[in-house]
Chain A
Amino acid sequence: MKPFRANMLVCAGTGCVSNKSFKVKLALEQEIKRRGLEDEVLVAATGCQGFCERGPLVIHWPDGIFYQRVSEEEIPMLVTEHLIKGRPYKNLMYAPGAAEAPIPKLADIDFFKYQRLIVLRNRGIIDPELIDDYISNDGYMALHKALTDMTPEGVIDEITMSGLRGRGGAGFLTGFKWGICSKARDQEKFIVCNADEGDPGAFMDRSVLEADPHAVIEGMALGAYAIGAQTGYVYVRDEYPLACQRITRAIRQAEEYGLLGDRIFDTDFSFNIKVVRGAGAFVCGEETALMASIEGRMGKPRQRPPFPAQKGLWGHPTNINNVETWANVPLIIMRGADWYASIGTEKSKGTKIFSLVGKVNNTGLVEVPMGISLRKLVFDIGGGIIGGKELKAVQTGGPSGGMIPKELIDLPVDYEKLAEAGSIMGSGGLIVMDETDCMVDIAKYFLAFTTDESCGKCTPCRVGTKAMWNILDDITRGRGKKGDIELLKEVAVNVKNLSLCGLGQTAPNPVLTMIRYFKDELEAHIKERKCPTNKCTKIAPAPCQKACPIGMDVPTYVALIAERKLDEALEVIRWDNPLPAICGRVCPHGCEYECKRGTIDTPISICSLKRFVVDYQRARGADIIPRKEAHGREKVAIIGSGPAGLTVAHDLALWGYAVTIFEALPEAGGMLRAGIPGYRLPRDILDIEIDVIKKLGVEIKTNSSVGANAIPLDDLKKQFSAVFLSVGAHKGLKLGIPGEDNFEGILDCITFLRGVNIDKNMNKPGGKVAVIGGGNAAMDAARTAVRLGCEEVNVIYRRSHAEMPADPSEIESAIEEGIKINYLVQPTKVIGDKGMVTGIECVRTELGEPDLSGRRRPVPVKGSEFMVNCDVVIPAISQAPDLGFLAKGHGFKTTRWSTFEVNPETTSIQGVFAGGDAVSGPATVIEAIAAGQRAAVSIHNYLRKGEDHRDYRIPRSYKKMPQVSLSNEEQSSLRRPEMPHIPVAERKGTFGEVALGFTLEAAVNEAKRCLRCDLE
């Protein structure tokens, strides 16, 4: 053979082929020919090189340079740069992140660096379609050694001592299995290569067959020699056309070379291999079903014993191993059992191939020593989670395996450890799930799979998998019931114990591990009709209801508005929400983002419709005071009169409890009054809503601090049967930059707003104001400053408009009012003179990789420092609860954000409950109401001790309303109304409400646009 100075190896695995790697190969060959290099550079195709995510891949040897995402257009440059000028071509190199330097060599890339290639030793090096390539890499040497130097028993001993275990999933000792079959007395014996790789998310076997088919053939020949078989079958999945083609071609070549057929290497050993294509049945991966299929029958499993080693294909002893197991065999024979046993853990020897897929940056095929930790696999090799999201679980073993939660990320991966965790090794699929994946949905997905694939022969599997699926389907559709979890477990255990074959015996694993590790998530689906990840879209009657933290029955009240039945509409609204006129103004309305109408034109104005109903009914004196359901129950104290506290008071008062609220400030309302300015939430609206709650008998004591220097908490615990802490998060967080504490003119956002809104002692703080932050609090501070007459107001935000958490309409109004929003700017230092603030030094930023919150991290741009002149700085970055009121040694468990730890609402002290911002950190009004509603239920159940039990509120329908009939013309002509606002010129100097609300006609027409998803 003529030596080439360089090899360009183009990946031709299924992944790269579908990325048009053959076109790349052709273009490369043509370009090399055009440049007259065809005698110097060899272009060859290889099997799957593993890094499918980055295909098509080309590797340059001997330099070991790894090129990825190679396109036809880049080929001329690649040839010019690397093959002619001798300098590796940077444009096509791999870089772990957009901002990071490219890594030229394959051996230096994390994805490859931590792998150990034994089975895949030839991947990316040989052309799988050329037997000479395999032979020149020591191929068929092991077979020669065994046939000429070793007895069949010797081969079996070597395999036994190596500790090799079946790679198909169960992990039975391979040598032991061979031993049984070799002892069976029969003239005719068979061996089978199981390549019916049906696990979704696994493609190891496909890859091995595509990359190195001769290794499988050689392994099978060695096995046949060891047990005395004359014929072998390779049973390949129908879905793998390329693998099928490559193994068929390899067998033909081996026959031509005399490596298969009669009297191999002139010995008495004769062996032939046939390829049988599967026809799409997962159960055929089970050995008895597989044999039935090879015999041309329906692939249904049968009872064992007799085991295949005794009675297999056509009644003759048969040994079945999977592709990866066979591919291990030649190397063990070549290099010896001791060498092999030195790799891996005590009971799991050698390496394992995994397909690392799902929400991981580097998806692909990896071979690693047994015992490697999941962390190393996911984070070092896999490069972490896509989009910087948080890892949630890793699923191993496909439909037969389980979900391993992130807490077990340091688990060493071997047969025993995975089994202890409730999963199995399986054939080696590792599916990485992130925080957006719903574990209930995943368990249901696998059950749908096993239900479909159950062959139907035995009842526990056929009926049991379907029964479990039905329960989970109900749960994901919001029809979960008490007792479902227990029932699921019972069915699961029965299916596991009573099924005939491995399919049924392992099918409950995904469900059982989901219950074991993700019970909270499952219970949220059942008890609160909530899917924490929002994946289960059918869990509430309509998407808007699903999105609403309190599951308001939007479709019904909107339908009632469309029919002008406003009395009833208000009844529905009040049935769900104790503070509707407030929510109708300041709610961030997640419901509208989920509204289906939004995918057609614009979402329904759900928030403003709610406001309309309450305002309209009030104006005509038709507001509703809810009726009390019981009387004369225990006394409950609530500390803090924000939305969470008011909600608990409202609900408990309705249920007959005597509620007293202690409020430290001179007026009730908490952050609703202290934080939200009057132009967004008029004071009279707030007063009316609080009055309704007072009318239910709730007493509100203002100017009544609780804690160390005021009313002792211990006294309240004695006087009241339960205490609810809803103290909010009123302490502004500091910027953490130099100069922050040195000058006058730095005003914490909440202090500033409270001074304006409650204490009424805050006048124009200065001429030029800089507000730091991008949330609604920052907008409130800036717009308030404008109203106080400040001439210049700058908002400084370190990310871009897209990441800004403030409501888009707030940002729009702020800009209308002349506020300048400075995006991608980060303050670095407060500057002052003679004790007064004179400005703030800032630096421009650009967005880098996403951080833990999923938003892209701002990275300062060097040398871009500049000054913003101002005499007042208002930090509005975030708030935390002020726990200073608690006495020393209070005994509460708190988090590192100084919020209360609760489970689910009870604090660590009996009889004391907590909710709202004091638990969640700064959140929205509607989230505080949701927390209050849950806490009220918890307090009620705590006080009633099991009697008159209440469940958490769930999204429900108040009544079934029919669809409003509309003419086609109406349907297409109706548009979302613009909210009328007072003119910008009239806003300065006054705190009058900016948004004026809908008219009756506008509201009715808007309500008619609703698509009524609840009726689907």
Chain B
Amino acid sequence: MSVEVVNSVLEKYSFDRSSLIGILQDIQRELKWLPEEALRMVSWRLDVPLTQLYALGSFYKAFSLKPRGRHLLNVCLGTACHVRGGPAIQEALEKELKIPPGETTADDRFTMEVVRCVGCCGLAPVIVIDENFHGKVSQADAVKALENYE
């Protein structure tokens, strides 16, 4: 699986070593995370040290070096969401999913992350599930929104 993904991404970027971040982003988009196997392959095909790839993978928030669930749940804690009840939303979701931010549920259904502003401050508090924005949510709304993602 990851072999084909890595190959097609590298071809798309014409094996250009200056596009490392874009390459990793595309691999992550397909695989939802950056498995060691994939990083080793990128390192070998582009002839860049594996440490450099891990440096990028751990520095940037968008990358995950751990497997992620089927759906990515982002709880916004930008300033507007913070003052409009974002922390209470986070608390309700933690209670519902029984995981802290950064973790994945035992059934692999959700990975929960906290983000600092998704730029929808007019709709605060906001949660984003996969690419869908849910605005002006109450604790109950937030928990209910999870139902649509299996």
Contacts and interface: CB of A to CB of B under 8 A. Distances in A.
Interface residues of A, number: 54
A282 interface: yes
Interface in A436-494: 437, 442, 445-446, 449, 452-453, 455
A18 B133 contact: yes
A282 B115 CA distance: 11
B80 A282 contact: no
Contacts of A296: 17-21, 56
Given A53-B122, A279-B62, A364-B122, 15 more contacts: A15-B122, A18-B126, A18-B132, A201-B121, A238-B62, A239-B119, A240-B119, A278-B62, A279-B21, A279-B63, A280-B61, A282-B116, A357-B121, A445-B79, A455-B59
Contacts of A365: 122
A279 B60 contact: yes
Interface in B10-67: 17-22, 24-25, 55-56, 59-63
B70 interface: no
Interface of B: 17-22, 24-25, 55-56, 59-63, 77-80, 82-84, 115-124, 126, 131-135
A359 B83 contact: yes
A239 B117 CA distance: 8
B59 A298 contact: yes
13 contacts: A14-B118, A18-B126, A52-B121, A52-B122, A55-B123, A200-B79, A277-B25, A357-B122, A398-B79, A431-B79, A445-B79, A445-B82, A449-B116
Nearest to A431: B79
A593 to B, nearest CB: 17
Contacts of A277: 21-22, 25
Nearest to A205: B119
Contacts, number: 136
Nearest to B48: A296
Contact of A363 (B25, B78, B122): B122
A206 interface: yes
A239 B114 CA distance: 12
Nearest to A314: B18
Nearest to B63: A279
Contacts of A364: 122
Interface of A: 14-15, 17-19, 51-53, 55, 197-203, 206, 238-241, 276-282, 293, 295-299, 355, 357-359, 363-365, 395, 398, 429, 431, 433, 437, 442, 445-446, 449, 452-453, 455
Nearest to B132: A18
Interface centre among B59, B79, B84 (most CB of A within 10 A): B79
Given A197-B119, A276-B22, A279-B21, A358 B78 contact: no
10 shortest interchain CB distances as A-B pairs: A52-B122, A18-B133, A280-B61, A279-B60, A200-B78, A203-B119, A201-B79, A200-B117, A357-B121, A296-B20
Contact of A298 (B55, B84, B131): B55
Contacts of A240: 119
A14 B118 CA distance: 10
A452 B78 CA distance: 13
Nearest to B18: A296
A995 B84 CA distance: 41
A567 B134 CA distance: 55
B131 A241 contact: yes
A203 B124 CA distance: 13
Contact of A201 (B25, B117, B131): B117
Contacts of B116: 198, 200, 282, 449, 452-453
A445 B121 CA distance: 16
A15 B135 contact: yes
A357 B121 CA distance: 6
Nearest to B57: A279
B123 to A, nearest CB: 6
Contacts of B83: 358-359, 431, 433, 437, 442
A280 B63 CA distance: 8
A442 B79 CA distance: 8
A365 B120 CA distance: 10
Contacts of B117: 198-203, 239
B20 A18 contact: no
A279 B120 contact: no
A828 to B, nearest CB: 40
A55 B126 CA distance: 14
B115 A239 contact: yes
Contacts of B24: 279
Contacts of A449: 116
B8 to A, nearest CB: 18
A690 B37 CA distance: 79
Contacts of B118: 14, 239
B84 to A, nearest CB: 7
